[in-house]
Structure 1
Amino acid sequence: MSVTSYILALGSNRRGRHGGPRAEVQAALAAIGGARAVSRIHETPPLGPSIRRFANAAAIIETDEAPEALLRRLKSIERAFGRRRGQRWGARVIDLDIVLWSGGCWASPVLTIPHPQYRARRFVLAPLAEVAPHWRDPVTGRTTLPLLHAVDRRRPCA
């Protein structure tokens, strides 16, 4: 298999064996390997019932793994970091998601690429815009920056 590029979203809002959320994101990047580009770590408000702020980042990695093989490896890293399945959107040591890949779309019972909700999530799009501002969404044809601007426009005025 040839080398493929993937865009990953990383997030943490709970202390783990590597330290606070920022340290967990950095340690996860090291565990994943193959990073070609990494965004800065963004501090973002929680989604759902969690009260802790998140550390979020995006990375472009290169690997010869097929999408489901990469997903299995990411889930293994999550478990090694102490991630346990529980409350949706609750506190977590690490969350690793495949957002996009250079192969376009992928759909299976366990994985959908592009990530179904990424277009509406600023905490994914802002870091993504740093590493891949011109990456084109294979479904909408829009690049990252217009997607980010669309999310920003939908936010209510304070």
Structure 2
Amino acid sequence: MIVALGSNMPGDHPSSEALLDAALSRFSQAGLPVLARSRWWNSAAWPDPKSNEYRNGVAIVEANGPPEAVLEALFAIERSFGRTRGLPNAPRTLDLDLIAYGREVSDTPRLILPHPRAHDRLFVMGPLAEIAPDWVHPVLGKTAMELAASAPVGRDAEPISSTNHTNHTNER
């Protein structure tokens, strides 16, 4: 399963990166052990570049149970970090998006898989290509690397260099 993480408001944390690290550490407690994760990436806010810059990343997570239950677990983690859902694309402390659940394809009022806009966003496909370049989009048939190269949204996105960061992690 692939989860995208994003933040442009650090809340009670010293930075959005610290908030994202703290959020990622909650995944195992929610029954979603992290198998791999990307570096954090920086990008201008979208669609309003005057808002705070975003930090984004992607994690590959092990999940048991239906995708709707995983989505609820992700929403619970968001709420624990002060996320309130209001206007689309508004600034937020934490945004967790279920990008893909294996090769599952669904389109219900509650959940669309794969995520309907992830393939257009460099700040999602870039981090995914970093840890799973050969992942294939179950509808489009293109790899994460190909989608990152052609993503029209967030073209300014780039990884943040950090000497304290490991590109891959295994919490199990």
Q: Which has the higher contact order (CA 8 A, sep 6+)?
A: 2
Percent of aligned pairs sharing the same letter: 39
Distance 2:14 2:86 in 1: 21
SS in 2 for 1:63: coil
In the alignment, which residue of structure 1 is the partner of 2:140? 140
Report the TM-score when normalising by structure 2: 0.81
The 1-side partners of 2:40 and 2:104 are apart by 26
Q: Deviations over 1:26-77 (max 9, x none)?
A: 1111111201000000111110235100010000000212100000011111
CA shift, 1:104, in A, is 2.5
Q: Does 1:59 align with 2:59?
A: yes
SS at match of 2:151: helix
The ranges of structure 1 where at least 4 consecutive aligned residues each deviate by more than 3 angstroms after the TM superposition are: none
- Counterpart CA distance in 2 for 1:140 and 1:89 is 24
TM-score (norm 1): 0.88
The reply to whether residue 38 of structure 1 matches residue 37 of structure 2 is: yes
Partner of 2:122: 122
Q: Which whole-Å CA distance do the structure 1 matches of 2:54 and 2:42 have between them?
A: 6
Q: What secondary structure sits across from 2:36 in the alignment?
A: strand
Whole-Å Cα distance in 1 between the matches of residues 38 and 107 of structure 2?
Answer: 27
Q: Among residues 24, 31, 40, which one is paired with 1:29 in the alignment?
A: 24
- CA shift, 1:128, in A, is 0.7
1:92-147 superposed Cα distances (whole Å, 9 cap, x missing partner): 00000000121321232211111000111111111111111101111011111111
In the alignment, which residue of structure 2 is the partner of 1:3? none
Specify the SS of the correspondent of 2:62: strand
Q: Tell me the C-alpha RMSD between the 2 structures.
A: 1.4
Q: What residue identity is the alignment partner of 2:76?
A: S
Structure 1: gaps spanning 5 or more residues:
1-5
Number of equivalenced pairs: 148
Q: Distance in 2 between matches of 1:103 and 1:65?
A: 15
Q: Indicate which of 4, 12, 30 corresponds to 1:17.
A: 12
| SS of equivalent to 2:109 | coil
2-side partners of 1:128 and 1:94: how far apart?
18
